[in-house]
Structure formats: C-alpha cells, structure tokens
Amino acid sequence: MKIRVIGVPLDLGQERRGVDMGPSAVRAAGLHQVLKNLGYQVEDDGNIHVRLPEEQHYGDRRAKYLKEIAETSRQVAKRVYETLGAGYFPLSLGGDHSVAVGTQAGVSRFYRERQQQLGCLWIDAHADMNTPKTSPSGNVHGMPLAATLGRGPGSLSRIFGFAPKIPPQKCVLIGARSLDARERRFVKESGITVFTMRDVDELGMRTVMEKSVALAGNATTVFVVSFDVDVVDPDEAPGVGTPVPGGITYREAHLAMEIVADSGKMVAFELVEINPILDVMNKTAILGVGLVGSALGKKIL
C-alpha cells in the first residue's frame, strides 16, 4: 500500500496556540521511518495552507473562524479525495479536530461515488457533536462529528453538496468522558453508538473495539479512523489542549489500533490535537507515531 501524508496545521478551531505545529512534531517523531519499516511507500504531500488567527477577526462568536475553517476543510476534502483516487491511503495530520470535517468529506465522496458504505471510528475524550446553537465556547473543534452527521452550518456539513457524510448507525464514538450539557441530548438522539470510558472500564478495550469494528465495518463497509490524542490519559499524552483525566492507557490505545489493523477495513486515518507547546520532550507526538504504526500493521511478534 502507498501512503500519502497530508499535513493540516489548523489551529482556528480552538483557543490554545501551538496545535498548528502538530504535523511537524509528528514528522519529527519519526513517522516516515516507521511507515517505511512496515514496507509502505510513503509520499509526503506537505502542509495545506491555513490562515493565521492574527490575519482576521473570528467572526460569529457562536462558531469562531467558521469561514476560514470551512475554506480549509474544502481544501482537505479535495486533497483526501484526490489521494484516494490516485491509489494512496490518506494519512491526515492535524491540527485541531476540525480537520476531520475535510477528511471525512473527502473519503465519503470517494466511496459514495463507488456506491460503497462508509463507517467511522471516532476515538476521542469528547463527543465533538456541538453546533453553533449548543456550543458553550463557539470553538469549531467541538463540532466536526456533528458536521459529519449532517448537522450544523452547511459550509461544514454539506461539502461536495451532500449530507450526512457517514450514516449515524455506522459511526462509533470510543473513549468519551467529557460532554457538554446541551450536547448530550443530541448524542443520545443521534443514532451513533457510544462507548464511554465506563464501558471501556467494564467491558475491556478488546470487547469495545471488536464491537466497534463490527458496527462500523462489515462485509460491504469500510471505515475511517479519527484519533484525537486526548482520548489517552494525560499522564501518557500531556501535549493536548483539552486534557481530561481518566483516559485510556498506553497499551489500551495500542490494542485498539492493533484490532483496527487486524480488521483490514480502515481506508483512511487522521491524528489530531497534538500540541508541542504543551508537550514534554515530544512525548505525545512519539506516542501518536506509535499508534499510527499499530493501526497500519506493526506487531509485537
């Protein structure tokens, strides 16, 4: 398989500076060598241009920098779509989680045109299912899963002119432990499957992932993995902007990705929310590279 790395240094979706350096941190942590050691041909497509917050006002307080994020999302969607069309596996590096709006749209269009079903594993401490009407902060990095499901501003949810990008019954949220009050209602009514940290604690990561893979992908369905590093406990992943105690462990994270690899159903991967300014000696980026390796087939034996 050929892999194309797409950097998206987007930090407009949240308020803690530094996450735009995430793609560079992941590359510096040895991403390319890990992929090459696994036998992949790697092409780095560089970084998509993203406007700086200093260049403009944030606009509507309910969805800050919406115009600029939508513009970047369209670029990401086009690049991901073209990457799949060229026979490459798209590996998106964020940036904050609003990157996912474009990644999901690009993959969805590609498989929609081939009349093949698409699912999603959204691995995150947060649900990311706010809209401008429910968000307490107006930060768009808390809205990308809602957009993927067809809710919220059309400039995000209707890229390429259709919505939803992925049907809710094929979306699985894993590791959630921090939801906004008004967001909870939509999560419960949306039709997605949610495995909270309590579920992970009670069932174990193996069972959670086996159920998740079965829901998101079956004989005729493939899936995208959207991995927000803040799903991991802050002791293991300190370099994130919205840390939440009580996350998954180092080994649980790797086991989850190993089960993804075993399924053979993953068609795109994105790694988001690594903030080197908040990190300790690039620890979180090094973890992220290891998790990408596990998702793409690296084994202990």
- Which residues are identified as catalytic? 97, 124, 126, 128, 141, 228, 230, 273
- Closest of 73, 42, 170, 163 to residue 109, by C-alpha: 163
The two structure tokens encoding residue 197: 């940290």
- In this structure, are residues 221 and 115 in contact, taking their beta carbons and an 8 Å threshold? no
- The radius of gyration of the chain's CA atoms, rounded to the nearest angstrom, is 17
28 exposed, middle or buried (CB, 10 Å; 0-12, 13-18, 19+)?
middle
Cβ-proximal residues to 202 (8 Å cutoff; 6+ apart), any chain? none
